[in-house]
Structure 1
C-alpha cells in the first residue's frame, strides 16, 4: 500500500508546487495559490499514511518516487521529454528508495 500512497503524494506535491511556479514564474493569477496550498496539504497528509517505521525513513524512500514523478511531470505537463541521463538517475533513485524502505531492520 505504500507505493500507491507515495505516487499520490508525489502528484499532490508536484501539482501544489507547480501552482507557485505558475504564479511566480509564469505570471498566473494569485488565485492559483489556493488549490496549490490545498494540494500541498493533501501531500502532507498522504505522506503521513506511508507504512514506514520512522518519518525520516518514509520521507527518504519517498524521494525516489518524487524524482520519477517529477520527470513524468516534465514530460506530460511541460512537454520536455526526459533524456537517458534523467532515466538512469531515476532508476538509481528508485533502487535507493527500495533499499531504504524494504531493507530488513534489527528489532
Structure 2
C-alpha cells in the first residue's frame, strides 16, 4: 500500500512541478511559479525513495507507468482534453508493464 501511495504522490508532485516550468516558459507566468515547482520536484524525488524496492532503477522504471497514467489524468482534469481510446489503452499497457517490473517474482 505504501508503494501505491508513494507512486501516486510522486506523480502528482512531478506533474505539478513540471507544469510550473511549463506555465513560466510557455504560458508567460511569473518566474515565481518556479518556487513551488522546485519544491514539488524535490517532494517527487523524496517520495520515490519510499518505494519498497532493492534497486532504485527498478523503482524508477515501474514509476514510469504510473506517471503516464497520471499525465493522462492531468490532461483530462487540468487541461480539459478528454483522453481518447489510444490514450487509455496505452496507459493501461504501461501500467501493466509497471506492475510486472515491480511485482514480478525474483530469486
Q: What is the Cα-based RMSD across aligned positions, in Å?
A: 0.5
Q: TM-score, normalised by structure 2?
A: 0.98
CA distance in 2, matches of 1:75, 1:94: 18
Deviation string, structure 1 residues 24-63 (Cα, Å, up to 9, x no partner): 0000000000000000000000011111110000000001
Specify the alignment match of 1:77 in structure 2: 78
CA distance in 2, matches of 1:94, 1:17: 21
Deviation at 1:98, TM superposition (A): 0.4
CA distance in 2, matches of 1:69, 1:39: 15
Determine helix, strand or coil for the equivalent of 1:78.
coil
Summarize the alignment of residues 32-43 of structure 1 with structure 2, pairs less than 5 Å apart. 32-43=33-44
Q: Gaps (5+ residues) in structure 1?
A: none
> How many correspondences in the alignment?
106
Give structure 1 regions of 4+ aligned residues with deviation exceeding 2 angstroms.
none
CA distance in 2, matches of 1:99, 1:84: 23
